[in-house]
Amino acid sequence: MISRFTIIKGIGRFQDCQNIGGRSFSKNTIIFGQNTGGKSTLTDLLWSFKTGDNEIIKGRKTFGFNGNQQVEFFDDKNNPFRFPSAEWNHGCENIEIFDSQFINENIFEGNEITFGQQKNLHNIIIGTEGKKLATEINSLQEGISELTGKKTTKTAEFNRVFKREITAKDFADLPKVENVDDKIKEIKTTIETASNQAKIRSVFETMESSLDNTINQNTKTTLSKSIHVKADIVAEHILKTWKNPTHSKDFLQTGLTLTKEDQSDCVFCGQDLKPSAKELLGEYAKLFSQEYKTLQSEISSAVSKFEKWNPIIFLESIQDKLASIKLTLNANSFNKEEIKELKETINSEFAAKQKDIGYEVNFDKYDLLIELIKKIKAQTDELKKKNVFGSEVNIENLNRKIKDLEFSKTRHTKEWDDFIKEYDSIDTIQDGKKQKREELRLELGKYSDKLFSIHLNTINKILYELNADFTICDFQPIKKIVGQNERIFALKFFNTHRVSIDETATGKPNFKNTLSESDKRVLAFAFFYSLMIHDEKLNEKIIVFDDPFSSFDSDRRTKTVQLLANPHLITPDGKKIAKALKQLVILTHEREFFKWLYQRLDNAKPLKIISDGHINGVKKSTIVDCDAYKEFIEDENLKDLKEIADIYSSNSTIENYEGLCAKCRTILESIYKRKYFFELKEEINVRGKSVRSFVEKLEKLAINDFNQIAKRKEFNFLCDNLNIELHDSPFKNEEGNAHNVLGDFLKLIKQI
C-alpha cells in the first residue's frame, strides 16, 4: 500500500514537489484535480512503477526541466521506492489501473475495437495461470517452428542432392538391398539388351544357323557308308606289274570293259584267266563302278570339307558374336588343346576313310566334338532366352528401379544414415512438442471457457446495475481461427438485438452508432471491475481509478460509488461475497463524484492536486490535503439549511418530508463534527455513527450542558423524529407535526 509520496520531480506538472511528505495516503484515498492539473501524470507515474517502463516517465518530462527526474514514495511498512532504480525497473504486479490507457489498450479506442485490444483483454482475463499456459504453448510453438526451420533446412539440403526425385520420407523408408550393385548391373544389362533387340536377334539367328548346320552336318552319315574293295590285291598287282604305280588307272577300266563277260581270256594277252585273275577283275569291277565313284566322291568331299573346318575358329567366332552384344560363354565351355587333338584325330580317321571307302570310321572323337558343339548351342539357347524378349520391355520402369536401387544404396551409407537419424529425431521431438501443445491448448481452452463464463455473468450484472440498455454476448476466448477478424464478444440490446463490434457499415448497427460515450465508458468499467473483483490476489492489490466517472450520466453516479465503496461479487445463486482491496486510489475532476466518494468510502483520505504557480511560463502543480467537508460538503449544507428555514418560516406545504429529514441529519452531523471535532473524533471515524451517538458522547463528557436531562432529551426526541440511527421507526410526522419537527431542528441547532 502506498503510504506517502515525498518527491515528484521533473514529471509533467509536478516540477519539484519535495515537501509533500505530510500528504499521506490511506486504504481509501481520493484525489480531486481539475483536468490538465496533473491527475494523468500521477497515473502515468504509477503505470511506470507497475510495468517498470522508464520511458513513460521520461516521456512525461516537465517542459524546460534540465535536472534529473525523481520519484520517491513509501509503503505502509515504510519501505522506500525510488525512480530511477533497479527495483523500479522490475515493475510491480500488485497495481491495477483503470484509465484511458487501459481502455485504449484493452477495450476500445475512439469508435473502434481492434483485434489487438481483444487479444490484450483476452490475456488479462485468463490471468496469471492462463498466461503461464499460453506462454508454455507459445514456447512449444516456437520450439516447433524452430524444428520446422531445421527440418526445412535439412529438406532443402536433401533436395539439393536428390533434385526432388524422391521425398525425404520415401528415402528414409527405403529398405536395404543385398548385392545392390549386382542388381543395378543386371537391370542396366536388361535395359541395354532391350535397347539392342534388333542386333541381338540378328546375332542369335546367325549363331543358331551356324551351330545347327554344324551339329546337323551329314559328315557322319556320309562317312558311315562303305563299299568293300580288296584294294590290297589291286595295289599289290599294280606294284608288281606297273613300271609307274602312280599312273592313271583308266586303262584298267578300259580293259575291264573290253573283257568278255565269261572272263575266260585276258583282253591284253589272250591267255586263259586263272581264278586269281578273275578275283582281281572282280575287284576292278567294284573299283570302277559308278556307285563306288559316287561314294568316293561324297566321302572325299565330306572329308575335304571337314578338314577345312576349324572348330576353334568356329567357336571363337561364336564368342565374338556374343561379345558384340556383350555376352560371353561359360569360361569352361571348351578347351582349345583338347579340341585341337580331337580334330587331328578325327582328320586322321577321316583320311583313312578317304583312302578306303570300305574303311569303318571310329566316330567316338567326332561325337565328342559334336557333343561339345551341342553344349555350346545349349548355352547360346539359354542366353537367347534371357536376352531375346518375347514382349516389349518398359525401359522407363527399369530406369526407375535402377534409381530406387541407387537411392537405397545411398540411403544406407553412414553419411545418409546419420542424416536420416537426425531428420527423424526432428520429427520425433516435434511430434512430442505438438502433442504437448495440443494437451495444453485443451487445458487452456477449458480454463479460459470457465473464466469467460464467470466474467460474462459479472460483467452483465454490472451493466445492469449501471442501467445499461445492453449486455455482452458471445463472450469466448480467442480461438485463433479467423485471425485479425476474431472478436471475443458482441453486444445485445434489450436482450434481443445483437450488434457485432467489428461491423463498420454506416447503415448497420455497430459499436460507433449504438453506444454513447457514457455507454462505452460503462462497458470498459464493467470489464475492469469484473477483472478486479475476480482477482484472487485482490487483497494484495492497489487499485487505481483515474476519472472512472468521466462521461458517465449523473444517474449512474450513485451505483458507481456503491460498487467502489462496497466491492463484492454475486454468485449465480444471488449470494453477495464481499471482496477486500489492499488499497483504493481514485482520481477525479467531478466535484459531486468526489463528494459522494468521500461520504461513502470508509475513512476516505481526501487529497487535492492544485496549481503551484509557474516557472518560466510552465505551470506547476502539487498535492495537498483537502478538507472535504469544508470544500465539498458544507456549502451544500448551507443551501439545505436555508431551504429548511424558508419552508418553516413560510409555513409551506411539505411534499418530501423524508428528504428534508435527510438534509437535517446531514446538517446536524456537519455542525457536531466541526464544533466538537476533537471530542467526537473517535465516533466520527466509525461508519454509521451519527447525531444520537454524538449526543451520548457529549453527555458522558458533560460538555455544553448535554449532561442535562432536559437538553439531552430534546436532542434525542429530535433524533427520533428525524429517524437518526433508528431502523423501521414507527414515528410518522405529517403537515403540522412535520413543521414542528423543523422548528425544533432550527431551535436546537442554535444550542449545539
Mean pLDDT by 10 residues, the chain (752 residues): 92 82 84 90 94 94 91 92 94 92 86 81 79 88 92 91 90 92 90 89 93 92 81 70 71 66 70 69 63 84 93 92 90 84 93 87 94 93 90 90 91 92 91 92 86 88 91 85 70 92 87 88 91 92 87 74 88 84 93 89 92 87 87 79 90 86 89 89 84 90 89 88 71 72 89 81
pLDDT of residue 370: 93
3-state secondary structure of 204: helix
Residues 6+ apart with CB under 8 A from 695: 706, 712, 715, 716, 719
Q: How many helices (H) and strands (E) does the chain have?
A: 29, 15
The values of phi and psi at residue 231, to 5°, are -65, -20
What's the CA angle centered on 118, arms 588 and 572, to 5 degrees? 75
Work out the burial of residue 496: count CB atoms within 10 Å of its CB; fewer than 13 is exposed, 13-18 middle, 19 or more buried: exposed
pLDDT of residue 30: 94
* CA distance readout (Å), 458 to 332, 464, 491, 525: 101, 10, 15, 12
CB contact at 8 A, 136 and 439 = no
> Which one, of 195, 211, 557, lies nearest residue 378 by Cα?
211
344/364 Cα distance (integer angstroms): 13
Work out the burial of residue 729: count CB atoms within 10 Å of its CB; fewer than 13 is exposed, 13-18 middle, 19 or more buried: middle
CB contact at 8 A, 490 and 474 = yes
Residue type, 497: H
Q: Look-up: residue for cell 520415401? A: 170
3-state secondary structure of 714: helix
CATH superfamily membership of 1-94+538-626 = P-loop containing nucleotide triphosphate hydrolases (3.40.50.300)
263/170 Cα distance (integer angstroms): 103
649/721 Cα distance (integer angstroms): 19
What's the CA angle centered on 539, arms 533 and 544, to 5 degrees? 65
**Exposure string for 331-349, b = 16+ CB within 10 A, e = fewer:** eeebeeeebeebbebbeeb
3-state secondary structure of 495: coil
Peptide bond into 175 cis (omega under 30): no
Can you give the length of the chain in residues?
752
Domain boundaries, the chain: 1-94+538-626, 222-318+328-373, 629-751
Against a cut of 0.75, is the pTM above it? no
Residues 6+ apart with CB under 8 A from 572: 457
DSSP designation for 176: P
The values of phi and psi at residue 493, to 5°, are -100, 135
154/643 Cα distance (integer angstroms): 89
* CA distance readout (Å), 698 to 145, 637, 715: 77, 23, 12
* CA distance readout (Å), 672 to 18, 178, 644, 747, 750: 36, 109, 18, 15, 11
3-state secondary structure of 729: coil
284: which 3 cell numbers?
Answer: 576292278
9/65 Cα distance (integer angstroms): 9
Helix (H) or strand (E) holding 663: helix 657-675
Phi-psi region of 418 (alpha: psi -120 to 50; beta: other; left: phi over 0): alpha
CB contact at 8 A, 89 and 54 = yes
570/458 Cα distance (integer angstroms): 7
pLDDT of residue 282: 64
Q: Look-up: residue for cell 578273275? A: 278
CB contact at 8 A, 271 and 265 = yes
